[in-house]
Structure 1
Amino acid sequence: MLSEHYEQIEALGLDLAIVGLFLLMAYVVHDILKKNNVPLIGKVVVYFVLFLGAAGFIFKGIMQWVLES
């Protein structure tokens, strides 16, 4: 059973690892911005850039799913 679904398990593990890394990056960025008293516009820009990176991975996953279907 495990050998039959190895690729799916591997893909799921990679996706979960990427989500975990983005959550860790968001936590680290939040901590750094909080400690350094960054103005609101700086926080908005930093979080927007972090969101664009995550959105790129989400879009890539959706495109792979569409092309493989």
Structure 2
Amino acid sequence: MFAKHIDLIESLALNIGFVVLFFFIGMAIQDVLKKGNVPPFGRAIVWLVLFLGCAGFIAKGLIQLSWEGSGLA
């Protein structure tokens, strides 16, 4: 049974790993922004870039899911 579901387990582990990685990147960025006394506009730009990177991974996952569901990939 484990051998049948190895692909699902691998993809779940990879996605969870990405979530954890983005969380730690966000925490590190927040720490640097606080210690560096960055102005609010600069903070907004930094968080926007971080959000867009995360949104890119989410969009990639959704596109991949839809393509696999329709038989394209």
Q: Please report the TM-score for the alignment, with normalisation by the length of structure 2.
A: 0.93
Which amino acid in 2 is paired with 1:20?
V
Which amino acid in 1 is paired with 2:26?
A
Q: Which ranges of structure 1 fall in alignment gaps of 5 or more residues?
A: none
Runs of 4+ in 1 over 3 A off after TM superposition: none
Select the structure with the greater relative contact order (CA < 8 A; seq sep ≥ 6).
1
Q: CA deviation at 1:64?
A: 0.4
Q: Percent identity?
A: 45
**After superposition, what is the alpha-carbon deviation per residue over 1:19-50, rounded to whole angstroms, capped at 9, x for unaligned?**
10000000000000001110000000000000
Q: 1:30 matched to which residue of 2?
A: 30
Q: CA deviation at 1:51?
A: 0.4
Query: Tell me, what secondary structure is at the counterpart of 2:15?
Result: helix
What do you get for the CA RMSD once the two structures are aligned?
0.4
Whole-Å separation in 2 of the counterparts to 1:38 and 1:6: 45
Q: Please report the TM-score for the alignment, with normalisation by the length of structure 1.
A: 0.98
Which amino acid in 2 is paired with 1:27?
M
